[in-house]
């Protein structure tokens, strides 16, 4: 049975997808193999697919790798000298990472607003929501 993924595991898999080479085919099985190789984390396709952050990152990278996105088409049409190709690839990876993180941040903000709205609808105040967590009493 595959182990449950921690937040760090999910972040590692998303980073792995951000760095996925554009000339290499992306499948769930290859991703599972890459995770096992790079992070020594034995998991399954199903475990990875359950995580929405991983699934969204996979879908985005899959579209780029398969050439079905405008960015992929533009990249194919761009002819650069080899000295600039490495820098362009690095820049493209960073842009993908930034775009993914911004999308994740926006989804978290939407979730926060939903929780805040629902909490106020059920009579909770902002002050109650911002109270610090109770500390465990020492014995």
The parent domain of residue 86 ranges over: 7-108
pTM, to two decimals = 0.66
Domains of the chain: total: 1
Residue 134 lies in a domain: no
> What is the rounded average pLDDT of the residues 58-87?
75
Distance CA 109, CA 101 (A): 12
CA nearest 21: which of 95, 92, 102?
A: 92
Q: What is the number of other CB atoms lying within 10 angstroms of the CB of residue 38?
A: 13
DSSP assignment of 86-130: HHHHHHHHHHHHHHHHHHHHHHHHHHHHHHHHHHHHTT--HHHHT
- Residue-wise pLDDT tens digits, 93-110: 898 889 889 999 999 999
Q: Which two tokens stand for residue 69?
A: 């996105």
Residue 56 lies in a domain: yes
């Amino acid at each position: 049975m595959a182990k449950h993924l921690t937040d760090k595991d999910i972040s590692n898999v998303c980073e792995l997808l951000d760095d996925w080479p554009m000339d290499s085919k992306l499948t769930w099985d290859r991703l599972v193999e890459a995770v096992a190789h790079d992070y020594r984390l034995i998991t399954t396709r199903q475990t990875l697919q359950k995580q929405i952050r991983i699934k969204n990152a996979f879908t985005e990278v899959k579209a780029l790798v398969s050439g079905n996105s405008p960015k992929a088409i533009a990249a194919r049409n761009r002819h650069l000298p080899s000295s600039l190709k490495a820098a362009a690839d690095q820049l493209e990876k960073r842009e993908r990472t930034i775009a993914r993180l911004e999308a994740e941040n926006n989804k978290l903000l939407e979730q926060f607003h939903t929780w805040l709205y629902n909490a106020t609808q059920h009579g909770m105040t902002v002050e109650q929501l911002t109270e610090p967590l109770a500390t465990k009493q020492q014995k």
